[in-house]
């Protein structure tokens, strides 16, 4: 876990403000859920066996609690219990801390900040496109310019594996290899299977299906079942909508982008920036989660890491725009404190950042303090 010193705290707050305003403009209403949930609640929507990474403890009645490890499950619980009669679709946003007990990595420690949205009640590709477009606009609105959005489709690969009659164990191992981008392991699994040579070659090609719209044509040639065909058609529709949003310059298709097979059910995506090995943002369709809380509702969304975003902005030289300019330092000689207070109040009312000296100073002292603290203007009353 970490401290944020004043400069970084101000940058983080400004990034949060930019994102909160953007989410609101797109019609997403902010929700806030408790940092502590029952373990059973979080485990019900846990992705990729995340329970082992949760901070767990007991309340006074020996019930097992945990710090939230992500927000989607908490929001699913909230929607299923307290918003179940609200008109659909539901468009919800959040900016909060989450906690995961894992080895610290670049831009993420055990306590970190996320911002994101959930679109619940829309099963159409238009919903996937809106969420992806909003994720891209989030990057741009904060000042980021160099990034790439990789879009994949879980159903495409699921359909292929089922059509090829792979055993459950083979499917599991293939999914693990794809999620980890382990091409060597994938090749080993494929070559020891009973698949035809054509099926083996297609399976090996999955992680290499990366590029522009032409990738969908290649994938269509491989699709040999209704589920895979529908997946590619959905991606075509998503891409058509993204053209309308004007964001396709940032988009590539990568059918090796899998995320969590057991959680995601359709279109998925990740956002990468140069020099950062882990995704800055990720999300996708998860139509089965809310059933765990007694309400069937299709859903899609994304989460982005604020610390990683701040690192990317700094690396691209875009961080200065998020630093508050310190405008005025009001200092005074002996006997002029009342005038100084009045002047400071007037400047603040005009919307300018203004610090008032805590005691009388000479002009030289005030000028030195003003320079070392980075204020643009010295107002000295004498």
pLDDT tens for the 382 residues of the chain, in order = 889 998 899 999 999 999 999 999 999 999 999 999 999 888 886 655 678 888 999 999 999 999 999 999 999 999 999 998 999 999 999 999 999 887 666 656 889 999 999 999 999 999 999 999 999 999 999 999 999 999 999 999 888 888 888 888 888 888 888 877 788 888 888 888 888 888 888 888 888 888 999 999 999 988 888 999 999 999 999 999 999 999 999 999 998 877 776 789 999 999 999 988 889 999 999 999 999 998 899 999 999 999 999 999 999 999 887 888 889 999 999 999 999 999 999 999 999 999 999 999 999 999 999 999 889 999 999 9
Q: How open is the CA angle 136-259-177, to the nearest 5 degrees?
A: 140
* Extended beta strands in 29-158, E state: 29-30, 36-38, 56-58, 64-67, 90-99, 111-120, 148-153
Contact between 114 and 283 under an 8 Å Cβ cutoff? The reply is: no
Residue 211 backbone phi and psi in degrees, to 5: 160, -155
Report the candidate in 70, 34, 10 with the shortest Cα–Cα distance to residue 305. Answer: 70
Residue 94, SS3 per DSSP: strand
Give the C-alpha separation, 310 to 319, whole Å: 7
Q: For 61, phi and psi rounded to 5 degrees?
A: -100, 15
Q: Alpha-carbon distance 299 to 333, whole Å? A: 63
By the 10 Å C-beta count (0-12 exposed, 13-18 middle, 19+ buried), 238 is classed as: buried
Q: Give the long-range contacts of residues 184-190, CB within 8 A, separation 24 or more.
A: none
Q: Which residue in 93, 39, 91, 124 sits closest to 298, CA to CA?
A: 124
CA separation for the pair 164, 67 (Å, rounded): 41
């Amino acid at each position: 876990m970490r401290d944020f010193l004043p400069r970084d705290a101000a940058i983080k707050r400004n990034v949060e403000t930019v994102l909160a305003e953007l989410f609101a403009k797109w019609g997403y209403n902010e929700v806030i859920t408790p940092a502590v949930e029952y373990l059973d609640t979080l485990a019900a929507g846990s992705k990729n066996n995340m329970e082992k990474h949760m901070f767990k403890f007991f309340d006074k009645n020996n019930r097992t609690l945990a710090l939230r490890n992500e927000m989607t499950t908490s929001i699913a619980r909230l929607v299923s219990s307290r918003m179940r009669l609200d008109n659909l679709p539901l468009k919800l946003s959040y900016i909060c801390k989450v906690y995961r007990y894992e080895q610290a990595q670049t831009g993420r420690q055990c306590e970190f900040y996320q911002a994101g949205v959930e679109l619940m009640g829309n099963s159409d590709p238009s919903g996937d496109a809106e969420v992806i477009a909003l994720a891209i606009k989030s990057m741009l609105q904060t000042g980021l310019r160099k990034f790439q959005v990789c879009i994949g489709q879980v159903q495409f690969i699921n359909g292929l594996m089922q059509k090829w009659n792979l055993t459950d164990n083979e499917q599991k191992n293939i999914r693990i290899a794809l999620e980890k981008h382990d091409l060597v392991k994938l090749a080993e699994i494929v070559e020891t299977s009973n698949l035809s040579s054509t099926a083996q070659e297609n399976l090996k090609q999955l992680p290499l299906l990366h590029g522009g719209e032409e990738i969908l044509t290649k994938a269509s040639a491989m699709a040999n079942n209704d589920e895979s065909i529908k997946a590619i058609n959905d991606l075509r529709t998503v891409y058509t909508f993204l053209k309308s949003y004007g964001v396709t310059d940032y988009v590539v298709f990568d059918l090796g982008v899998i995320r969590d097979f057991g959680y995601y059910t359709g279109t998925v995506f990740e956002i990468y920036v140069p020099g950062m090995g882990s995704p800055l943002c990720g999300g996708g369709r998860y139509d089965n989660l809310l059933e765990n809380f007694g309400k069937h509702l299709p859903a899609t969304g994304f989460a982005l890491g604020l610390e990683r975003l701040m690192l990317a902005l700094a690396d691209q030289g875009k961080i200065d725009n998020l630093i508050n300019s310190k405008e005025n330092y009001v200092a005074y000689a002996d006997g002029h404190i009342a005038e100084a207070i009045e002047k400071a109040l007037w400047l603040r009312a005009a919307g300018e950042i203004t610090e008032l000296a805590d005691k009388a100073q000479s002009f030289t002292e005030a000028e030195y303090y003003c320079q070392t603290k980075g204020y643009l203007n010295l107002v000295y009353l004498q």
